[in-house]
A = this chain, B = another copy of it.
Amino acid sequence: VFKNSKRGLATAKVPSSLAASLDTFVDRHIGPEDNELVYMVKQLGYDSVDAFVDATVPQHIRVASSSVSNETIPSLSESQLFSRARELAEANKPFKSYIGMGYHNAVVPPVILRNIMESPAWYTPYTPYQPEISQGRLESLVNFQAMIMSLTSMDIANASLLDEATAAAEGMVLAFVHSGSKKRTFFVDDGVSPQTLAVLRTRAKGFGISLVIGDASTALQADSLRADLCGVLVQYPDVNGNVQDFGALAQSVHDAKALIVCATDLLALTMLKPPGEWGADVVVGNSARFGVPAGYGGPHAAFFACRDALKRKMPGRLIGLSRDTEGNPAYRLALQTREQHIRREKATSNICTSQALLANMAAMYAIYHGPTGLERIARKVHALTQLFKSLLEKSGYTVTNKDFFDTLTIDVSGPAKTAEVVHQTSVAARINLRKIDDTHVGVTFDESVGLEDIITLANIFANAANAPLISPLSLSTENVDSLAIPVDLRRTSKFLLHPVFNSHHSETEMLRYIYHLQNKDLGLVHAMIPLGSCTMKLNSTSSMIPLTFPEFGNVHPFAPMDQVAGYLQVIKELEEDLCKITGFHACSLQPNSGAAGEYTGLSVIRAYHESRGEGHRNICLIPVSAHGTNPASAVMAGLKVVPVKSLADGSLDLEDLKEKATKYKDSLAAFMITYPSTFGVFEDGVQEACKIIHNNGGQVYLDGANLNAQIGVTNPATCGGDVCHMNLHKTFAIPHGGGGPGVGPICVAEHLAPFLPTHPVVPVGEAQAINAVSAAPFGSASILLISWAYIKMLGGEGLSDSTKAALLNANYMAHRLKDHYSLRYKNKNGRVAHELLIDLHEFDKAAGLKVNDFAKRLQDYGFHPPTCSWPISTCMLIEPTESESLEEIDRFCDAMIQIRKEAEDVITGKQPKDNNLLKNAPHTISVLTAERWDRPYSREVAAYPTPWLRQHKFWPTVSRIDDAYGDLHLIVRPL
C-alpha cells in the first residue's frame, strides 16, 4: 500500500530480506493494516493512497517524498533503538550533583515510578475537560493544589505551571496587572536564581515592565523606586542558601501598594515559616524534589499559589470541587470549559499544556511520605548540611551564609586558594559542585545524600586545602535535632493535615489509591480519544523506556557539557530531524509547551525586526479561527492583535488579510496561521497569504499543532512560514500526561536562527539570541527522548506513512458520518485534513440538544468525546490519528450514528426535550441501579445502547457536572 510497506502483517509471511528487522515500529504504530487501508481508500473512491493524498493536499505545497525519506531519516527497529539509547545513555556521565540552584537528585518511590510515571493509564489521558471520566486525575491534581496551599500557607494554588522561572514571570505579570498595568517597575532580589532572572528579563520585555535587580532588604527604601513599583520577587531560601526573614519587606512592599512574589522550596517549607505567614502575595516554585528526576532540566511541575483576592488573575488551570446532577460531589476544571482561562488578546498568560503528570507524581510523593515523612527527610538533609558545615570549618573554609536549610556558599579563597582547585578535585571523584566565582563554591544537599556522601565530600574539600582527612568514626551522628534556622523563621504551623496525606503510607495502600484513581479515568488504554487539534496517537512503550534509564534521569541541567554527550547527541539529532521535517534551518528545544513555543517564536520575530531597526513593528494578524493561545502569546510578546476573517467555506479571507496587511504595512510584525487550519482543511491560499505578509514587511508564524497532517506531504517552510512551533506531545508522540508535560520547540528559517533563545548558565544561543524562555537550557530535556525515539523508529518513510494514514482515517470517518451529521468544511475535492469539524447547531434549533449533550452521551458509549465547541461553539472537532484501527473507527462512527438516531427521537417528539438519553447523559452505575427509575427510556438502553458495550463499557463515575454551581462555590481543596 505504501511504498516498500513493511506493514500488513496479514500478508507478508516471508521477511523481505535477511537484513529486514522483525520488530519494525511502523507495523505497531499505524492502526489499520494494509488490507484495511486499501478498503478505506476504496470507500473514498480512490485507487491508491497516493491518489487520495493528491486530492487532499494542494498540489502546489507538496514536497518531494525524498525530503522526508529513509535516506534522510533512517529507520531503527525497536531493538536497534534500545541499543542506540543505551549507547547514548552510557555517553552521559551521571556524576553526583551538589549543584542545587533549584534542581535536586530525586528519590522516586518505586511504586510511583512504576504505577504513575511508567503507566499508560496515567500518562495517556488528556487534560480533564470531561470530568465525568476524569475524576481520578482531577482528585490527584486537587491533592497537588492542597499540598501547595498547605506547605506555602496560601489561600489558593493552581494545578501546575511549566517551571519555576516561568511561574515567577507569571507572578511578575500578575503584579503588573494588579497595578492596573500602570506601575512598571518590578524589583528582583539578587538572591534569585539566574535562570529565573533570565526568564523574567525576556518576559518583562513584552509587557514593557522594567526590572530592577538589587538587595531587596536595602534598595527598596528609595522613594523613586517605590512610586512605580508593582512588585518584588524574593527567593526563600535564596540561590546561595541564605534564609532571610522577608516579613518587614513584605510590609513595606504592601505599603507601596505593590505585591511580593516569593520563589520557594517545598521541602524547606516543612521547616521554615511559610511565605503565607509572613505576607507573601504570590508563591511560586518547583515541586520536582518531591520525587521527580532532574532529567537534565525537566519536565517538572511548577506551582503557583496566591492570596484569595488575586485568584481571578491566577494563570493556568484550577481544579474545583462542584457537584453532579445527582448532587454528589465531583471535581472539574474550575472557571473554564476549554481554555477559557486563556482570554485571547485580553490574556496575560498563555499557559495551556502544563505539567499534570509531574504534579501528580509530586502529590503522590507527599501522600506517600505524609507530613511526618517529609519532615524527617527535611530534618536529615538539614542536619547533614550542618554537619558538613562543621567539617568544612575544620578544614579552614568559611561558609558565607549564616542561616540555611540545605545549601552552603563556601569561600574557598583561604584554604584552597581558588575554586578551580576544588572543582578539579571533585570532578575527579565524579562529583559536581556549583560554580559561583573564582573564590566561591556552592553545595546543596537533598534526600539522596547519605552520611558517607558527606564524608567523601568533606574529604574532597580537606584534600583541596591539604587539611587532615576526616575519620567517620570521630563523628557524632545522633544529633539531628538542633537547627541552623533562626527561631523566628521556624515553622510552627502544622501542614498536610488532610486525611489523604495521612492514610496511604504503606506501599499496598499507596498502590490501591493509585489504582482507585486511575480506574475512574478514560485513557488511550481504553478507547480512542478523538480530540481534534490534540493528536492523541500511540505513545509507544519503546519510546518511553529510555526515559527511565538512570543515566538520563539523574542529570543536572547545569552539569558540565562534557558529561552530557549522550543528551547533546539526542538533542542534535532531534533538532536536525525536526528541521528536515519542517523544511527549516534551525531549532530550539527550550520551550516547554506549544504556547511557550508561540511566545518564543514571536519573540524571535521581534528580535529579528529590532536587529533590522524595525523594532516598532508590533501588529500581529491572527485569523478568528486561531487557538486562544495565539493571541495570548502575541500580547505577551508585546504585539497588538488584529483579527483576520474567515470565508463561509472556512478558508482564510485573503481579501481581508490583504487589506489589513496593507493597512498595517509599516507596523506589521507577524501573521500567525495554523495549517491545516483549525477547521480541519488544507486551504489552497496559504502560500499566497504568506506572500502578502512578506510583501508587507511581516513574518509568518505557523502554529504547528496540526503538523501531523503535513509530514512528508508538505511542510511549514514550503507553505511559506518563517517559524513554526511543534507540539511534540501531539505530532511526536510525547504522551499528554493528563494535561502535560509537553514540549513546544520552534524551527526557524535561516534569517531567524541567530535569535533563538540562549540561557544564562548554559549559553546555548548566539550573540543576538533572545534571553531564556525556560528555566533549563533545553527545556524538558528528558522527554525529548520520546520524540527522538519516535522519529528514529519510524524513519522518514514511516513518518510520512503515518501522516497519510492519519489523513485517511479522518477522511474515512468523515465519509461514514457525512449522511448523519453536517460536515462543516471540506476542500473542493470533498476532503478534510487529519480532523473533521461537524456542526450540531441544527439539533439545538430543532430540539434544544447541545454539543455537550452529544458529548456526554458518547461517554455512555465508552468513548472520550471529541473537542467540543471549539473552534466553533456549535461544533465537534474529531481527530482519529493514524494509530486508531479501522475497527475502532467504525465502532466510533457506529456510536455517533446511533446517537444521531437517539437525537431524532427527541426531534420527532418520541422522547421529551428535557428528559432523554442525551440530556441525562452520562449515566452512572449508581443512577442505573437506583431503586427509582422514572425516565422515558429503559435502564438497558441508557447503559448498553449497543451490544458490544456489554463487553467494552467504560463507566463514568459521576453524573453530569453542574458547572454553574461550582463557579458559584469555588472550592479548590479535596473533599
Contacts from A to B (Cβ < 8 Å): 9-15, 17-23, 27-31, 33, 78-79, 107, 109-111, 113-115, 118, 120-121, 369-370, 372-373, 375-377, 379-380, 383-384, 387, 447-448, 450-451, 475, 477-481, 502-503, 505-512, 514-516, 519, 524-527, 538, 540-542, 544-545, 883-885, 887-888, 925-926, 928-931, 938-940, 942-944, 950-953, 955
Q: Are A29 and B507 in contact (CB under 8 A)?
A: yes
Q: Are B506 and A538 in contact (CB under 8 A)?
A: yes
Q: Are A10 and B506 in contact (CB under 8 A)?
A: no
- Across the interface, which residues of B come within 8 angstroms of A19, CB to CB? 450-451, 477
Q: Are A9 and B515 in contact (CB under 8 A)?
A: no
Q: Are A509 and B885 in contact (CB under 8 A)?
A: yes
Q: Are A12 and B118 in contact (CB under 8 A)?
A: no
Q: Are B372 and A107 in contact (CB under 8 A)?
A: no
Contact of A508 with B929 at beta-carbon distance under 8 Å, contacts A9-B370, A480-B17 already known: no
- Nearest B residue to A520, CB-CB: B951
Q: Are B939 and A481 in contact (CB under 8 A)?
A: no
Q: Are B18 and A387 in contact (CB under 8 A)?
A: yes
Chain B proximity of A664: nearest CB distance (Å):
46
- Nearest B residue to A518, CB-CB: B525
- Across the interface, which residues of B come within 8 angstroms of A450, CB to CB? 19, 21
Chain B proximity of A499: nearest CB distance (Å):
11
Q: Are A120 and B929 in contact (CB under 8 A)?
A: no
6 contacts between A and B (CB under 8 A): A17-B480, A21-B450, A33-B505, A118-B118, A515-B525, A929-B939
Chain B proximity of A22: nearest CB distance (Å):
5
**What CA separation (Å) do A445 and B346 show in the bound complex?**
66
**What CA separation (Å) do A481 and B16 show in the bound complex?**
10
Identical chains in the assembly: 2
- Across the interface, which residues of B come within 8 angstroms of A508, CB to CB? 31, 524, 538, 883-885
**What CA separation (Å) do A29 and B110 show in the bound complex?**
13
- Across the interface, which residues of B come within 8 angstroms of A544, CB to CB? 114
- Across the interface, which residues of B come within 8 angstroms of A512, CB to CB? 524-527
**What CA separation (Å) do A525 and B513 show in the bound complex?**
8
Q: Are B939 and A925 in contact (CB under 8 A)?
A: no
Q: Are B15 and A376 in contact (CB under 8 A)?
A: yes
Q: Are A10 and B372 in contact (CB under 8 A)?
A: yes
Q: Are B480 and A18 in contact (CB under 8 A)?
A: yes
- Across the interface, which residues of B come within 8 angstroms of A22, CB to CB? 107, 376-377, 380, 447
Q: Are A506 and B31 in contact (CB under 8 A)?
A: yes
- Nearest B residue to A13, CB-CB: B375
Partner of A542, one of B17, B110, B118: B110
- Across the interface, which residues of B come within 8 angstroms of A502, CB to CB? 10
**What CA separation (Å) do A113 and B114 show in the bound complex?**
12
Chain B proximity of A902: nearest CB distance (Å):
17
* Additional pairs, 9, CB under 8 Å, beyond known A20-B380, A110-B545: A9-B373, A14-B480, A17-B477, A27-B506, A121-B515, A503-B887, A507-B538, A514-B525, A929-B939
- Nearest B residue to A505, CB-CB: B9
- Across the interface, which residues of B come within 8 angstroms of A942, CB to CB? 929
- Nearest B residue to A377, CB-CB: B22
- Across the interface, which residues of B come within 8 angstroms of A929, CB to CB? 925, 928-929, 939-940, 942-944
Please name the 8 residue pairs, one residue from A and one from B, whose CB atoms are nearest each other, closest first: A110-B541, A18-B477, A28-B507, A515-B525, A928-B929, A110-B542, A13-B375, A929-B939
- Across the interface, which residues of B come within 8 angstroms of A943, CB to CB? 925, 929
Chain B proximity of A880: nearest CB distance (Å):
11
- Nearest B residue to A955, CB-CB: B925
Q: Are A376 and B114 in contact (CB under 8 A)?
A: no
- Nearest B residue to A951, CB-CB: B516
- Across the interface, which residues of B come within 8 angstroms of A12, CB to CB? 372, 376
**What CA separation (Å) do A63 and B109 show in the bound complex?**
35
Chain B proximity of A886: nearest CB distance (Å):
11
Partner of A110, one of B17, B78, B380, B884: B78
**What CA separation (Å) do A489 and B326 show in the bound complex?**
67
Contact of A115 with B375 at beta-carbon distance under 8 Å, contacts A448-B79, A478-B17 already known: no
Q: Are B885 and A541 in contact (CB under 8 A)?
A: no
**What CA separation (Å) do A22 and B380 show in the bound complex?**
8
Chain B proximity of A244: nearest CB distance (Å):
25
- Across the interface, which residues of B come within 8 angstroms of A475, CB to CB? 18
- Across the interface, which residues of B come within 8 angstroms of A114, CB to CB? 118, 120, 541, 544-545
Q: Are A120 and B110 in contact (CB under 8 A)?
A: no
- Nearest B residue to A77, CB-CB: B450
**What CA separation (Å) do A938 and B925 show in the bound complex?**
14
**What CA separation (Å) do A121 and B115 show in the bound complex?**
10
- Nearest B residue to A111, CB-CB: B541
Partner of A18, one of B372, B451, B883, B887: B451
Q: Are A931 and B940 in contact (CB under 8 A)?
A: yes
- Across the interface, which residues of B come within 8 angstroms of A887, CB to CB? 503, 509
- Across the interface, which residues of B come within 8 angstroms of A925, CB to CB? 925, 928-929, 943, 953, 955
**What CA separation (Å) do A929 and B949 show in the bound complex?**
13
Q: Are B373 and A18 in contact (CB under 8 A)?
A: no
Chain B proximity of A715: nearest CB distance (Å):
27
Partner of A14, one of B79, B376, B526, B540: B376
- Nearest B residue to A524, CB-CB: B508
Partner of A940, one of B30, B507, B930: B930
- Across the interface, which residues of B come within 8 angstroms of A526, CB to CB? 512, 515
Q: Are A480 and B15 in contact (CB under 8 A)?
A: yes
Chain B proximity of A144: nearest CB distance (Å):
20
- Across the interface, which residues of B come within 8 angstroms of A376, CB to CB? 9, 12-15, 22
Partner of A511, one of B15, B30, B79, B524: B524
